[in-house]
Structure 1
């Protein structure tokens, strides 16, 4: 690594998601009490994305704060206290966008403490997914295909009897007719000949808060080389059955595009605004072939609102190759889709996990190319291409959901999910008798769905909706249980078993201590509640506070009449304003003394965007010293430590360390060095994120500094 003075620090990209987790805990989880009727239309959104800032891996609009509020008076009071201006609201979910002076991240912790604020977060930005491309369009014509893979013009293995089994469903009359499907993605090409016949006639850009009804106006505004993903996705669902190009699985459903990439990222506020618009405009299915959301905030609020109005939410599992939670796929109530190849095997890139629902073709699926990418040769337009990713298994899942809703319009989101799961081919995947974490309940089968769902009495039981409120209690009284982790684990779970379908749902609480689980499986759950995550806040495990109990989630409970439970945790609430006992120590002149054999009290990289904490010690020539910065790896908390040893001149960097150990042990820092001369030396403690030139200011950036002479 290149050596730098502390005032010109630069390193490689961050290795930790600590800052993102910190922002998450400051924002907590958004939960709302919605009116049963659909409220007035959403208010206007800002017309442009403002200046972007970055804190670790988190990208956000620098001067915008997203606030969940209890009522209009609380919102206005919060804006006044923050010296900001309310520039947009989403009244359906009581979420507002407040434009503030300076960096919004600095204001989140203070905003969380304001009366009537349910959560406060920076307006984080989601970025477009990477497309895993297949062969080039020129290779499509000579593809070998059996007769049962030709439905319009080009071969579509995904729809044949060995995969989605589309013809059996169509022959039974299930074509998606009468069902509206929204696609939250980059702007789909409503002029494409495969897609235009089933365009609903409405398309929405949340950034402008504008509904388009003219295809040419939409295309002229959004046609960019980077915008193709939304067209691919939509064509899986609604491409017209007209003997040309390809056909969508729900080829008589209506499609409404909602923009979230153009071509860069949109903020969480605008994504939520788009989901609300889709719901209010009649979407019964919303497809989300993207990832990067979190388990709280406006997007979760919007999806909860959609589900409370009967809208099924589908999301792609992700292309991470790992078994892990990704959002929005892991949100309670969301139907998460994995990807299969042409041989009905899990594609290696498809993310796995207990939250997976089912799988559908997602490798080398043939999809529509937007007209602006057809190329310059009119004789050989590149109208379609082969594409891979869970981005494309998800819309097939959305299409099957549309078939189910055509047959049974009153079906709830949980019923839709469960009828798709129970009619899937469970022999697919690592468990040939049912569920596994790679493929869920198996490969979706639209034909089997149609054969099973001949009457809506065949629908599974309705799902459940759960509301939990948590409070901290100690000798000083009670406080809202903010930053609490709440887990519902179905009884009888075999932990670690890859074939165990027992449901597991988790979410954090908001500033009021509320946690909500929408459209989950009914049944009896073990309820686990734990105070603020020590991996984020730091502290001793015995200080966290836990509760273990049971809860019955009743089939048919709703968002408005949920199953309720109140929980009291014997624990201290997290401290958002800790005091660093060594401040001010931001320069060599104000450095605090540390001696051999000493470990400091807990200190913080906190209180300013780029905090640099100096300590000084006296050493002799030949002293072998070991300086350790104990942080997230050994104390918990959110600090990815970075430690410098600086010479007596207060400028020259003699040694530095990011992650201790070879091979790496964790993100704490350790410097070992032999002093060459007697004098006063300095230890500079900071965060890895700050060495990148970015801001890092959080109340849980805690550390201790330990100095040892080893000879």
Structure 2
């Protein structure tokens, strides 16, 4: 897998200026890690200065958010919030429409007026005062097209004719994939009875003759419009859904009813979660559907779709499902490459590749270490309808399904069988198997693939997977929460990349990737970290790893970055050990880090490095920065796509400097103190007060502080008329990169 491609396909909207030099602090550590089972956060500069951080709603300057020619950014943004009333206030301020809310994720969707830039709105909220964070709503999820078969369908169908345990349904003799995974041999053990499987897809035909039956389908949701809760009832007509119909039938096509064939778990219950309209979806819409399905009883979620890069709202939704004990299955993709997108790449999910009749990887299937398991995905006859047919012919149509779109549902059906068998053993409710245990039963007990392109990988074998007792189920996986806070202000950092690199050979050596989120994870007032959706939530940046393989890991924390900038990959902890016995969803391993970040390095006007792109501090309440640190960092090491200028119009390598603007009324004096070298930074930070051209304001002073002061410099200016004053911060000792951060306080009196 191309690690950077996944990490940087989407925008991380809190923007770092993290370099690559090693920290050499002479006072307190420039970065701190506490790799223990504790939620006690490291001490920030703000706390060491005796300041109490204020959580304040800050609304962006509307004039800076206007959409310019060539700006094609989406008009909808996902907002993470502490209080929903703040989102409503922001929506009124922007003239936006509040389209939908996911209370469990503390997330809302705003539809902006066409005059505003979605990208600028998202960037502007990075400085949101600790109450709101915004990201563009991704729209790259796509249904996986059904590819041409890798093998001749007739030859594949011939493999099933001699199977000993075929049922009497007329098309079962052509369903070669049923006996290959031995689903026909376990029907006396489990059929998935009563297990609810959410089909996250387009819709499926709930009137199809081999899906329709009392109790076979439960109500679902149509998320193509999240402004209203549109329920899909079992008796409702199809909206759109040949693809979803194929997924549904592969999972749970009925058995013994004299029509069609059968599914992997023929007695499982199906829940429609329509996310495509017909081939388009947004990440918020998917997350809405996942959370709805979990709340309404889904035990397995099948996702036969992919596309896009890392999406935090999707990651939050998947974590919500996993921590509510819901198994999440994702199709690996049909790109014939070692690269995965979508939620199949998230920790804790089951990523499924497609095999053909001879246990070879299909020509189209994605491969590589992130694939957990292979399953048949080639010319599978099932209830994939022909939407062009009129009713009732459509409801009796069958077609050849395929791709990892088929392989995923095969495994989802297998998960339903495991849950059914476990319930028969008394493993339900509080003792139910976890998604990780289900994953291990499916992935560890398969038949070896025979393809030289997939050495060490297995294809699903349900006889082996169901051969467990209540005392022989595998141990649960590990649960890790990685919190990252700003070492200056103490605020959580959203969108920081966190990688767990296996050191013991587990997970086929594949890294686990996550990002910190301001979503439903944090630390509550009782010090409890982990699954706390809606429970006394605190805004803090936490990366979640739910249900990962136990073992030794190296932890890497970097970023966050935008468009690949800020590509610092700094190892902040040498090693942690994740033990299944000592780690659980309610008692996770909690790591606390501090990292430097420049919340204001990028503004709506471009990279902050000149007065023209200065951050506007007038949007903050008067006196805010007298008690709340303004933090930043100096960095010239943006090297992901080659060196980039320090600010628009400047050549690469220009010393980094930061500008902020504030209005000082006539007769008032502004006093600014900068804190850096004397409180642990590598930089000596100089602050100057200048005009819009960068020239010093007449009468302004900038003086190095005394040896006994904690500050580096103090700047003052008394305005003779209402004046826009620009605060200029620079590194007086030319120290840049990791460890070269600063904090500042200022007052106007």
Instruction: Classify 1:260/1:438 alpha carbon distance in 2 versus 1 (closer, same or farther; 3 Å).
Output: farther
Given the alignment of the two structures, is residue 504 of structure 1 paired with residue 505 of structure 2, yes or no?
A: no
Number of aligned residue pairs: 529
Q: Report the secondary structure of 1:566's partner residue.
A: strand
CA distance in 1: counterparts of 2:548 and 2:310, whole angstroms:
15
Match of 1:235 among 249, 254, 266: 249
Counterpart residue number, 1:218: 237
- Is 2:232–2:272's contact at 8 Å kept on the other side of the alignment? no
Counterpart residue number, 1:184: 200
Q: Report the secondary structure of 2:459's partner residue.
A: coil
Instruction: Classify 1:381/1:361 alpha carbon distance in 2 versus 1 (closer, same or farther; 3 Å).
Output: same
Counterpart residue number, 2:48: none
Given the alignment of the two structures, is residue 287 of structure 1 paired with residue 302 of structure 2, yes or no?
A: yes
Within 5 Å, give how 1:241-640 maps onto structure 2.
Answer: 241=255, 242-370=257-385, 372-374=387-389, 383-408=397-422, 409=428, 410-430=432-452, 438=454, 441-450=457-466, 452-453=467-468, 455-473=469-487, 480-493=492-505, 501-510=508-517, 512-533=540-561, 536-538=564-566, 545-555=570-580, 557-569=583-595, 575-577=601-603, 578-579=606-607, 633-635=641-643
- Is 2:601–2:607's contact at 8 Å kept on the other side of the alignment? no
Instruction: Classify 1:565/1:264 alpha carbon distance in 2 versus 1 (closer, same or farther; 3 Å).
Output: same
CA distance in 1: counterparts of 2:347 and 2:392, whole angstroms:
47
The structure whose RCO (Cα within 8 Å, separation 6+) is larger is: 2
Given the alignment of the two structures, is residue 26 of structure 1 paired with residue 39 of structure 2, yes or no?
A: no
CA distance in 2: counterparts of 1:261 and 1:424, whole angstroms:
32
Give how far 1:508 is off: 2.0
Unmatched segments (≥5 aa) in structure 2? 17-66, 423-427, 519-539, 615-637, 650-749
Instruction: Classify 1:559/1:311 alpha carbon distance in 2 versus 1 (closer, same or farther; 3 Å).
Output: same
Counterpart residue number, 1:132: 147
- Is 1:470–1:480's contact at 8 Å kept on the other side of the alignment? yes
State the Cα deviation string for residues 420-472 of structure 1 (Å, max 9, x = none).
Answer: 11211135444xxxxxx84774010111222x22x222211012221111134
Given the alignment of the two structures, is residue 195 of structure 1 paired with residue 221 of structure 2, yes or no?
A: no
CA distance in 2: counterparts of 1:168 and 1:563, whole angstroms:
41
Instruction: Classify 1:265/1:440 alpha carbon distance in 2 versus 1 (closer, same or farther; 3 Å).
Output: farther
State the Cα deviation string for residues 139-178 of structure 1 (Å, max 9, x = none).
Answer: 89996752318432223454454x2111221122x10012
Match of 1:204 among 218, 221, 225: 221
- Is 1:176–1:251's contact at 8 Å kept on the other side of the alignment? yes
Instruction: Classify 1:141/1:510 alpha carbon distance in 2 versus 1 (closer, same or farther; 3 Å).
Output: closer
Unmatched segments (≥5 aa) in structure 1? 1-16, 30-52, 431-436, 495-499, 585-602, 605-629, 642-711
Give how far 1:504 is off: 2.3
Instruction: Classify 1:59/1:139 alpha carbon distance in 2 versus 1 (closer, same or farther; 3 Å).
Output: farther
Within 5 Å, give how 1:614-693 maps onto structure 2.
Answer: 633-635=641-643
CA distance in 2: counterparts of 1:632 and 1:303, whole angstroms:
29
Counterpart residue number, 1:45: none
- Is 1:192–1:371's contact at 8 Å kept on the other side of the alignment? no
Higher mean alpha-carbon deviation, 278-287 vs 257-266, is at: 257-266
Higher mean alpha-carbon deviation, 410-419 vs 242-251, is at: 242-251
Give how far 1:413 is off: 0.4
Give how far 1:371 is off: 6.1
Counterpart residue number, 2:630: none
CA distance in 2: counterparts of 1:507 and 1:20, whole angstroms:
9
Give how far 1:367 is off: 1.6
- Is 1:133–1:386's contact at 8 Å kept on the other side of the alignment? no
The alignment's TM-score, normalised by the length of structure 1, stands at 0.67
Counterpart residue number, 2:84: 72
Instruction: Classify 1:256/1:248 alpha carbon distance in 2 versus 1 (closer, same or farther; 3 Å).
Output: same
Counterpart residue number, 2:662: none
Q: CA RMSD in A?
A: 3.9
Counterpart residue number, 1:106: 120
- Is 2:493–2:516's contact at 8 Å kept on the other side of the alignment? yes
The alignment's TM-score, normalised by the length of structure 2, stands at 0.63
Give how far 1:566 is off: 0.6
CA distance in 1: counterparts of 2:157 and 2:305, whole angstroms:
32
Counterpart residue number, 1:707: none
Give how far 1:509 is off: 2.0
Give how far 1:240 is off: 0.5
Give how far 1:73 is off: 4.7
Instruction: Classify 1:284/1:55 alpha carbon distance in 2 versus 1 (closer, same or farther; 3 Å).
Output: farther
